[in-house]
Chain A
Amino acid sequence: MRQINLVIIGGGPAGMGAALAAYDAGVRDILILERDSALGGILQQCIHNGFGLHRFGEELTGPEYAWRYEKLVREKNIPFLLDTMVLDITSDKVITATNATDGVFQLQAKAVILAMGCRERARGALNIAGTRPAGIYSAGTAQKYVNLKGYMPGKNVVILGSGDIGLIMARRMTLEGAKVHAVCELMPYSGGLARNIEQCLNDFNIPLKLSHTVVEIHGKERLEGVTIARVDEHRRPIPETREYIPCDTLLLSVGLIPENELSKTASVTLDRVTNGAVVDQDRQTEVEGIFACGNVLHVHDLVDFVSEEADIAGKSAAAYIFGENTECTDIALSTDGKIRYTVPQRITHKKDVTVYFRVADVYRNVTIKGTSGERVICQKKKPRVAPGEMESLTLKADLLTGIDTLHFALEER
């Protein structure tokens, strides 16, 4: 079996970023396995701009952002295999994969970085009543038809869910000549970025119906319409508010799920809230030598943050391969209900660490505190926090002395 120092599963922004970081830290024996026919992951179909403001200080399209990384991967001659699907990873880091050239093959890796990204929740997960006609797509699938294949899935559109892909597709379909009748959002707030609400809906007079959902799907062959309804505070549809909207297309932007089926084969422990691996500050999972970064770990708002996380995972995998180590500790991170999760979930080494987290609802004038017992370790004030926007807190290594728990809580002032 072929031995490789570092195998990276996925050649999107997370995988490429991690590969480059590991390369810069001295690792040369790297292999990226990518299931698609090109590097870049989902960025390939994200032809809108707005990528790279944090990372590069300029606005790039998805393919441009991806190319910045792909160019470096090619310049540094980091090997990658395209159209290659990983079928299995063991906890001993034996990887089984397949492609048309090599057939089914196995690799023994010293370290593995999981960078498989995420997938969209499908209609089936929602159990919407009604028929099962053509014309219902996840927003990303429609994006692929329009942007990569050059075909229009439909002309009269309703969008369920106001996640960023749904918002982007509202604009995209409009620019391609379709009429977007409404974007329905189950929650009383949008899960998308504020700038996308402005630029993709308001600029095109597309109504955003908060606290609304699709309750029934109509049409035997092609979609003919949807019935929408307002929901009460328990998210139950209110029958009197039912409204029929004729349309031939329903796009779903109802959540992203980290694709951790392979992580499970490797016995990686998953976090019930993020649906990604439980990791330490190095993005190492609870299986030694297996790291994770990007949307497979937790769904990010911006690719810039994915790249940031990929740097950490790549550097850490290099340190693992070279047997480098810093002073150990073991701090378990916990949250109150208002903060849904943190990444990392554990701190195992004493070094500067940024803790990322997401809140459960929209809160105003908040103080976010990290405490250990009675002791306040860190805190941060924010005028507004929302579930759609990831927050972070940076801790200096010396703050981690003498503590074994760190609890994050949100207080409204």
Chain B
Amino acid sequence: MYDITVIGGGVVGGMIARTLSSYRLKICILEKAHDVAMGASSANSAIVHAGFDAAEGSLKARLNVRGSEMMKDICRELGVKYQNNGSLVIGFDEDDRATVEALCRRGIANGVKGVRVIDREELRALEPNISDDAICALYAPTGSIVCPYELTIASIGNAMDNGADLYLDFKVTDIRDDGDHFTVFSDREQIKTKYVINAAGLFSDAIARMVGDDSFTVHARRGEYILLDKECGTLVHHTIFRTPSKMGKGILVSPTVDGNLLTGPTSFDIEDKTDKSTTADGLSLVIKQSGENIDGVPFGKSITSFCGLRAVGSTGDFIINMPRSRFVNVAGIESPGLSSAPAIAEYVAQLLANSGLAMEPNPDFDPHREAMHGFREASIEEKNAIIQKDSAYGHIICRCESVSEGEILRAIRTNPRPRDLDGVKRRTRAQMGRCQGGFCSPYIVELLANEMNVPYESITKFGGASRINVGKTKEAEA
């Protein structure tokens, strides 16, 4: 019997599980995919928003500002890449200026530190490549960037290191209230738990309905992105937003914590919550609008394009409540969900405590997780000390990102363990460079197969039917 079952292995579920693992509670995380961080947590703008967007008094505003304040320390504890690069919302005409000024007032009311409107000259000094047509900007020095899937993986790994269990390929099909506990079913397994926390992202409305709560719905909003080579990572230093519209914050251009340049997202509501395809029109829009903000975005240096689906709730605000006893909804966590995640976890813990759950601190709780990127950033002497102990660190597997065999093996052996190529990619950056795994993926398949002691041809890209090879040569038949 678990005390707590968190449904959803995204950044929200991960942060909640980690926070709750600091108490004497038996916790599990259920994730329907083959790995954690497979939904919106792996495909978003990677921004820690300062907190000037959400309406004053909303849960979004409150948790965003608080989450943004907590993020730096949490990233340090979890060894996650984080950079305080500041955000700019640029305006092109007098209407935009009015919006920028309104945003500034809202930011101040929300408690965002240091937010102010700057003129063309100061903007140009901060960002020389900004479009000549920009006349003003909102400057939010507390805006930051983070690696979102790394944060998700690290928070779940840390929760596991502190005793939480992770069930992958566990797609919840039903939840039964057995009076003093719930039984949570998948097609193959069932789990008994006193509390359920519904952090199921796009599918949190379906999960809520399983316990009779149909007070909200969640729909998917497509966001397409184009990621550019590290060569372009210094084109801008701040995260550059357009003045927002009601569909979102528009196309942004931002460096990433790994030194690439990210542009996007588009914003289209779609029916199919599993449709993560990009569209020709969407990618064209990203290219067009980025070019309006920044001069000379070199799209010839694109290394990949992708689509993320935001979980947009029907209430306009985050939906965090207890519709019945021992069941918590954490739903409709669209932007600024990543920024808010640490504060959402804190808020949920408080909600549970208020509901009467005994929350005794776990004396063995260790908030730290060793950074996965430590080796890459080490000096030659430090690297050699590590290579002397384990020679696999001297052998480079991913050429483009210089990732060693030692780093890949360590990732494969660290909670939560990856079982597929994309899982290794998100943990190590191997295959994430300019050749996109062209050279290294055959070797990584081998490392995975050896470590998991499974046949080479059974390794997948991301679970399910996504096998990399269909069989041995001389066997295939068309």
Contacts and interface: CB of A to CB of B under 8 A. Distances in A.
Whether chain B is bound by chain A comes out as yes
Interface of A: 35, 83, 85, 87, 96, 98-104, 106, 119-120, 122-125, 127, 129-134, 137-138, 140-141, 144-146, 148-156, 176-179, 215-217, 220-222, 248, 261
B394 A100 contact: yes
A146 B473 contact: yes
Interface size class on chain B is 35 or more
Contacts of B399: 35, 85
B172 to A, nearest CB: 20
A141 B442 contact: yes
B422 to A, nearest CB: 9
Given A123-B304, A220-B274, A129 B279 contact: yes
A300 B475 CA distance: 34
A277 to B, nearest CB: 16
Contacts of A220: 274, 276
B421 to A, nearest CB: 8
Given A124-B304, A134-B460, A100 B395 contact: yes
Interface string B162-199: 00000000000000000000000000000000000000
Contacts of B383: 98, 103-104
B476 A155 contact: yes
Prevailing SS type, chain A contact patch = mixed
Contacts of B283: 127, 129
B73 interface: no
Interface in B273-309: 274, 276-280, 282-283, 299-300, 302-306
Contacts of A145: 442, 468-469
B438 A124 contact: no
16 contacts: A98-B387, A98-B404, A100-B387, A100-B391, A106-B380, A122-B304, A124-B227, A131-B277, A151-B456, A151-B471, A152-B476, A155-B470, A177-B477, A215-B280, A222-B465, A222-B467
B472 interface: yes
Contact of A152 (B384, B392, B395, B472): B472
Question: 9 nearest interchain CB pairs?
Answer: A124-B304, A179-B478, A85-B396, A134-B461, A134-B466, A100-B391, A151-B469, A122-B436, A221-B465
B363 interface: no
B424 to A, nearest CB: 14
A176 B280 contact: no
Given A104-B384, A104-B387, A122-B436, A132 B473 contact: no
A104 B441 contact: no
Nearest to B274: A220
A101 B394 contact: yes
Given A122-B303, A153-B468, A127 B473 contact: no
Given A99-B394, A104-B383, A156-B478, A134 B467 contact: yes
Nearest to B43: A132
